[in-house]
Amino acid sequence: MKRRTWLLSALGASGALLVGWAVLPARSRLGSPELMLATPGDVALNGWVKIAQDGAVILAMPRSEMGQGVHTALAMLVAEELDLPLARVRLEQAGGDSIYGNVAMILATLPQHPLDSEAGHQSVKIKMREWIVGKLARELGINATGGSSSITDLWDPLRMAAATARASLVLAAAKAWQVPASEVSVASGLLQHASGRSAHYGEMVSAAAALTPSDVACKDRQDWTLIGRATARTDIPAKLMGQAEFGLDVRRPGMLFAAVRMSPMLGGAVATLDDQAALALPGVDKVLPLSAWGGGTAGLAVVAKTTWQARQGAQAVQVQWQAPSAGALSSQAIQTDLLAQLNADSGHTFHEQGVPSQAERSAARRQDALYQAPYLAHATMEPMNCTAQVKEGRVEIWVPTQVPQMARAMAAKVAGVSQEQVSVHVTLLGGGFGRRLEVDFVGQAVQVAMACGGLPVQLSWSREEDMAHDFYRPMQLAKFQASLDAQGEVSCLRIKSAGDAISPRWMARALPQFSAPFDTPDKTTAEGLFDLPYGFASQHISHVATHSGVPVGFWRSVGHSHNAFFSECFIDELANTAGQDPLAFRLKWLQDAPRYAAVLQLATNKAAWGQALPPGHAHGLALHASFGSIVAQVAQVSLAHGKIRVHRVVCAIDCGTVVNPDTVAQQIEGGVIYGLSAALFGRIDIVDGAVQQSNFPNYPMLNLAQAPVVETHIVPSTRAPAGVGEPAVPPIAPAVGNALFALTGKRLRSLPLAL
């Protein structure tokens, strides 16, 4: 649900909207206590914080944990403000109220150039646009985990909710002890007074619930004792001991298991099927047709006593598949069509400055390049799954999802009930990467559960079905044209890209009621191209939005994932043309972007850029900003028998205030491995409508022996927190590509990298 540029269309008549907003009541994200789940003995103080009888704190958690450490980091914010040990903070799933919506993720849809804020000022137009979009996002209240936005979004609301709870408890203690509130201190979950009186939170919470504190303030930065310190993640022990509940771990009394088999052709359907052989197998209960829910592909499901029996039954069904009416897709044909559209269509202009046409007319020479990237699958370690029960007019689902509201809406739609009749339990996610922003598998599970007589059923996909029926990162091409003056300086940069727009496709699947009027230019197609920090005087960046028919979705770091490869490799090309060191060339054009320059210098200093390396080794660097963070990476690369080996990656990041530096390092490491797997191996090929890759043997991931040493260096900052989960992915491909050029003199302009 991240980066919805359709919001901008709604802001076309800004004046009219401002008049409308003026009459709306002010909205607070603090929320009322009634929003929290009522549990015996616990008392809620607002929509986020409850106090248990033993003095522990219960936090309403609206974000999904998929390995990024968000449950720990958000709990740290509350523990900090309530002066409580982290172990004393427990989590419960938040409800569906709009206060839990992800405002920061919606604000990130705005196609704002980073140097607008880098210069330290914003125009009235930008501020007004942000205010309106933020207001609209608050009204929509879309709860989603994505866009590396969880900490960014909840940084202020959670700290304020906890600080308000603390102030209420202090007031209650002061009233009970008949002392000034200023004399009541808080430490380790205890309210204390110099007279020797003390009480834990549970003893004062009932009285605190009746009090309304004024002038609540969050703790000063210098008073923090937890935020900014390396902290062990709270979810790890249960995972190590096998006690954590992922989607596939769900077990309910009387549960059945279902396996899916979908048309091998994208968009295909069942023509005929013979289920006699399947039904004769041990444990197989029934064979059911499956509709194409949520933009997926139709097929069949087999229900059995165990997952193994269900999968054996699915393979035993004799089925004839019907091709889609639009015909079979081919990635090769799509690439040819993309190139034709790139050359023929002017596209939508995302950014223009200077006078490009004038600079091009007076140029002494021009440098051109064409870059391309293939389709990619998400390949989450836990394939798609959902457990559903439809009984007595109600639906209950247990699902690893990034969008619980969307899952709830899908379940209600399939079962033909109101959303109030659907309960959603969000489990841990065995990887998300954007794939679980989709709810096609939820629709399948509910459809199957409706035929199971009120029994719960766990529907799961095999790895092969997961690979063949993803919502893929789009194929994209980008054409670069740089104009250079007589002194060899870049006077103009023109970039035009082409590829499927994700947001309109996703909107049509997830929020069809909004999709038709808001099919606007999608920022994700051009992010990482239109928002470059380099100070070339004239620039023109545009994108040709296409619609190939391949199901596309948000892949970790989205457009940045391929556009960083395109742009940072081309910057290296320009440095080579100018006869300059790649670092020196970048720094020269970053004079108006000091934060970028500082990150780049930190990474290159730590990597000892320019110093001698072992024979046959070379350094490559890349600089890229995404999700509010700036990342620079230096990759040390060698070639052995024609195979690429990445030995070391030095990464510097400016991500604003850091909540947990250990989590930052973990996400940098994970992002490098994920991005490097794609850079070296990742591609999805479609032939005659069918995806050719099926499992990790032909869609490989980086293995342990191939993994580089990854070093993380964090730039100290007092800015608000920015994204961490995705920004390390984009720079790794260009860093390796640039190192390979230094080694071989050969410029690779296509992914995956291959010599």
Instruction: Read off the pLDDT band of 5 (50, 70, 90).
Output: very low
**pLDDT of res. 118:** 55
Regarding whether 228 and 252 lie in a shared domain, the answer is no
Regarding whether 626 and 549 lie in a shared domain, the answer is yes
**pLDDT of res. 135:** 80
Whether residue 583 contacts residue 590, with contact meaning beta carbons closer than 8 Å, is answered with no
Regarding whether 441 and 359 lie in a shared domain, the answer is no
Last residue of a domain, one of 184, 208, 232: 232
Instruction: Kindly state the tokens that stand for 252.
Output: 């309910």
C-alpha span between 751 and 123 (Å, rounded): 38
64 is a domain residue: yes
Number of domains in the chain: 3
**pLDDT of res. 123:** 65
Provide the 8-state DSSP code for 473. B
- Kindly state the average pLDDT of the residues 358-363: 95
pLDDT, tens digit (0-9, with 9 covering 90-100), for 245-281 = 999 999 999 999 999 999 999 999 999 999 999 999 9
Which amino acid is it at 414?
A: V
- Kindly state the average pLDDT of the residues 487-515: 90
Regarding whether 420 and 370 lie in a shared domain, the answer is no
pLDDT, tens digit (0-9, with 9 covering 90-100), for 432-470 = 999 999 999 999 999 999 999 999 999 999 999 999 999
**pLDDT of res. 13:** 34
Measuring CA to CA, which residue among 706, 716, 622 is closest to residue 664? Answer: 716
Instruction: Read off the pLDDT band of 7 (50, 70, 90).
Output: very low
239 is a domain residue: no
- Kindly state the average pLDDT of the residues 647-672: 98
pTM for the model: 0.94
Instruction: Read off the pLDDT band of 510 (50, 70, 90).
Output: confident
CB atoms within 10 A of CB 236: 12
Least confident of 8-12, 163-167, 411-415, 734-738: 8-12
11 is a domain residue: no
User: For a pLDDT cut of 90, what percent of the chain falls above it?
Assistant: 88
Instruction: Read off the pLDDT band of 127 (50, 70, 90).
Output: confident
Residue 2: pLDDT above 70? no
16 is a domain residue: no
Least confident of 107-111, 240-244, 396-400, 672-676: 107-111
753 is a domain residue: no
Q: What is the CATH number of the domain that holds 189?
A: 3.30.365.10
Residue 52: pLDDT above 50? yes
- Burial class for 642, CB neighbours closer than 10 Å (0-12, 13-18, 19+): exposed
Which amino acid is it at 170?
A: V
Residue 116: pLDDT above 90? no
Measuring CA to CA, which residue among 402, 396, 400 is closest to residue 386? Answer: 400
Question: Who contacts 453 (Cβ-Cβ below 8 Å, separation ≥6)?
Answer: none
Full residue range of the structural domain in which residue 74 is found = 31-102+141-232
Least confident of 5-19, 297-311, 676-690: 5-19
Last residue of a domain, one of 435, 460, 485: 460
Regarding whether 167 and 95 lie in a shared domain, the answer is yes
Last residue of a domain, one of 460, 489, 507: 460
- Kindly state the average pLDDT of the residues 35-40: 94
- Kindly state the average pLDDT of the residues 481-487: 94
Instruction: Read off the pLDDT band of 134 (50, 70, 90).
Output: confident
Regarding whether 445 and 495 lie in a shared domain, the answer is no
Regarding whether 558 and 447 lie in a shared domain, the answer is no
Residue 708: pLDDT above 60? yes
What CA–CA distances, in Å, run from 384 to 87, 399, 714, 741?
32, 9, 35, 39
Measuring CA to CA, which residue among 215, 290, 569, 275 is closest to residue 443? Answer: 290
Regarding whether 416 and 353 lie in a shared domain, the answer is no
C-alpha span between 607 and 84 (Å, rounded): 39
Phi and psi, residue 84, nearest 5°? -130, 140
* Bridge partners, 631 (sequence order): 624, 653
Question: Who contacts 171 (Cβ-Cβ below 8 Å, separation ≥6)?
Answer: 181, 208, 211, 213
Instruction: Read off the pLDDT band of 215 (50, 70, 90).
Output: confident
Regarding whether 485 and 428 lie in a shared domain, the answer is no
What CA–CA distances, in Å, run from 636 to 398, 491, 685, 737, 742?
44, 32, 30, 11, 11
Regarding whether 715 and 656 lie in a shared domain, the answer is yes
Average pLDDT, the chain: 93
Residue 500: pLDDT above 80? yes
**pLDDT of res. 112:** 80
111 is a domain residue: no
pLDDT, tens digit (0-9, with 9 covering 90-100), for 633-645 = 999 999 988 899 9
Regarding whether 52 and 190 lie in a shared domain, the answer is yes
Helices marked H in 682-746: 729-744
pLDDT, tens digit (0-9, with 9 covering 90-100), for 56-103 = 999 999 999 999 999 999 999 999 999 999 999 999 999 999 999 999
Residue 422: pLDDT above 80? yes
435 is a domain residue: yes
Residue 606 or 135, more confident: 606
Residue 733: pLDDT above 80? yes
pLDDT, tens digit (0-9, with 9 covering 90-100), for 460-480 = 999 999 999 999 999 999 999
Regarding whether 422 and 314 lie in a shared domain, the answer is yes
